[in-house]
Amino acid sequence: MKLQELFGIELPIIQAPMAGAQGSALAVAASSAGALGSLPCAMLGPDAMRAELTAIRAQSRKPFNVNFFCHVPPTADAAREAAWRAVLSPYFRQYGIDAAAIPAGPGRTPFNAQAADLLEEFKPAVVSFHFGLPSAGLLLRVRAWGSKILSSATTLEEARWLEAQGVDAIIAQGVEAGGHRGHFLSDDLSAQLGIFALLPQVARQVKVPVIAAGGIADARGVAAAMALGAAGVQVGTAYLLCPEAITSAAHRAALKSEAARHTALTNLFTGRPARGIVNRLMRELGPMSSAAPAFPLASAAIAPLRAKAESQGSGDFSPLWSGQNASGCKEIPAAQLTRELAARL
Ligand SMILES: Cc1cc2nc3c(=O)[nH]c(=O)nc-3n(C[C@H](O)[C@H](O)[C@H](O)COP(=O)(O)O)c2cc1C
């Protein structure tokens, strides 16, 4: 089935959910141009989630996607947290931050029964998950109220697993993609494939529609993905400079600079590998560190460094999430960008 029919949209384009970089405004704008707008909920508490969902419903009657992480929350490990803070101590000294006063905090909450209760009031057309799927019981609830279900696969094995769980479509996330890798069956990063390798293999092996994500930044990229068997595309990075995004000033500056040409997978900011523009923290600690606490606990100790640096106009300690191809980032309204992405369909 065509993606447009499956979701009730005009264009086979999903504006990728990007936690921390966008909310309802970008989702509404992308939807208004005929794409599927997405609301990322990984960093929203219940009140903020309700406010954002209400805002979308008030401004748009179009279908939209609501996105959640579905990791298993880790148990806190005091020794590891102390080791992590010790690694960061030279930076705390530089910025005059009292490491003992930094609160430990989760930072990101997975999809749970409370989120499901709230979501049920809104019954979005699509619900997408990152890091696998929630429990069978929660998934059943989402399916029962009629939302279509998506999740990201980063390998052929993950795509097959998701199909066996009954998802309605699979997002094939190439290693070029910005933000967190969605992998959930294996932590082995050497198993992660580029989109030109992953997409045709997945499209051949599963029956559900496959949505290509990673490095797609213009109309030619969209057409290339469709030629390789994609039923649609999910585009993230290209939307980050749109006025409707809430991308920070430091992040916008990095995306517009030469620095955007060098990204890497890093676990320093959250504890899970994610692709971002290489900055001071990544350069000095190495983009991957065994000292970083498990996802999402690493973020707590970074937060005050990030806040201080950003208040001085620096992105040295910020997660500057970006895919490998930032060449499509434009400071134009998201509806216009969406139409440009669709120009060769
Ligand atoms: C700033 C940023 C934040 C992201 N946050 C999320 C998220 O909250 N949930 C999710 O499923 N994917 C997230 N992603 C990954 C996207 O869904 C998608 O895989 C990626 O943007 C596609 O690659 P591209 O950035 O090269 O277009 C994020 C990506 C970026 C760039």
Q: Is 309 in the pocket of ligand 1 (CB under 6 A)?
A: no
Pocket test of ligand 1: the residue of 173, 181, 196, 321 to mutate, having most ligand atoms within 8 Å of its CB, is 321
pTM over 0.95: yes
Q: Is any ligand 1 atom within 6 A of the Cβ of residue 40? A: yes
Residue 247 CB less than 6 A away from ligand 1: no
Whether 130 is in the pocket of ligand 1, judged by its Cβ within 6 Å, is yes
- pLDDT tens, 94-148? 999 998 899 877 668 899 999 999 999 999 999 999 999 999 999 999 999 999 9
pLDDT digits (tens, 9 = 90+) for 180-208: 999 999 999 999 999 999 999 999 999 99
87 φ/ψ angles, rounded to the nearest 5 degrees = -60, -35
List residues bridging with 114 in a β-sheet.
none
Question: Atom 7 in ligand 1: which residue has the minimum CA distance?
Answer: 18
Query: Ligand 1, closest atom to CA 216?
Result: 27
Identify the residue whose C-alpha is closest to ligand 1 atom 29: 179
Q: How far is the CA of 14 from the centre of ligand 1 (A)?
A: 11
Q: Is 19 in the pocket of ligand 1 (CB under 6 A)?
A: yes
Q: How far apart are CA 85 and CA 108, in angstroms?
A: 19
* Closest alpha carbon to 301 in 95, 33, 130: 95
Distance 130 CA to ligand 1 centre (A): 10
Kindly report, residue by residue over 240-286, the tens digit of the pLDDT. Answer: 999 999 999 999 999 999 999 999 999 999 999 999 999 999 999 99
